[in-house]
Amino acid sequence: TGESSSYKVLCLGASTGGPTAVKEVLSNLGHHFPLPIVYVQHLDVGADQKMVEWFDETCSNIKVQLAKDGEIAKPGHVYMAQADRHLVIDSISSNGNPILSLSDEPEERFLRPAVNKLFRSAAKVYKNECLAVLMTGMGRDGADGCQMIVENGGYTIVEDKSTCAVFGMPAAAIEQNAAKEILPRDKIAKRILALTEKNGVWN
């Protein structure tokens, strides 16, 4: 089962087909969800604000916002990477929540933001208290990050081929034995809720 700890952060990564897939998961978590959610979506420059507005319209029960540099992420809120800036977890605030950092560091495998950057930072900072979900997308971004999360005792869920628009990133993570669990999109939120129940917010 791998549920050895209370998780403190949920990280999401997606590319092609990601917004629709992530929206389904987020709308089933809702704003009472006990963890901060940090989300990297591959996007064209200039599309990030429109994406947040789209989430506002289609996913009203949880707040999606663009992450700001130095911001402390709050439980039940979603912090999405800005287009063309890496988003990482820099450190942990005094109340245990992630302090976010944006950077203009070089692209990783031609990507900025890169899911790998976020996932690796979460693994480093939160170790076995990190929960991550890698969803639909082309390429291999996120696989190395998932591997590092698993190596540090965290938990990774990747989207099953049956519901992926493009089975690239999840396939790469599975290939690298970096997926603790493989689930179709409609089962992911329920599993996240089960894994985070012991955080004591649910009653």
Percent of the residues in the chain that have a pLDDT greater than 90, as a whole number: 92
Domain 9-197 CATH superfamily:
Methylesterase CheB, C-terminal domain (3.40.50.180)
Q: Where are the domains of the chain?
A: 9-197
CA count, 13 A, side-chain hemisphere, 37: 29
- Considering only CA atoms, give the Rg of the chain: 15
Our separate counts of H helices and E strands in the chain read: 6, 9
Average pLDDT estimate for 4-30: 94
pLDDT for 19-55, tens place per residue?
999 999 999 999 899 999 999 999 999 999 999 999 9
CB 191 within 8 A of CB 159: no
Token duo for residue 170: 């999840």
Q: Which residues are catalytic?
A: 15, 42, 141
- Model confidence over 160-194: pLDDT tens digits? 999 999 999 999 999 999 999 999 999 999 999 99
Do 67 and 38 form a contact (C-beta atoms < 8 A)?
A: yes
Query: pLDDT value at position 5?
Result: 57
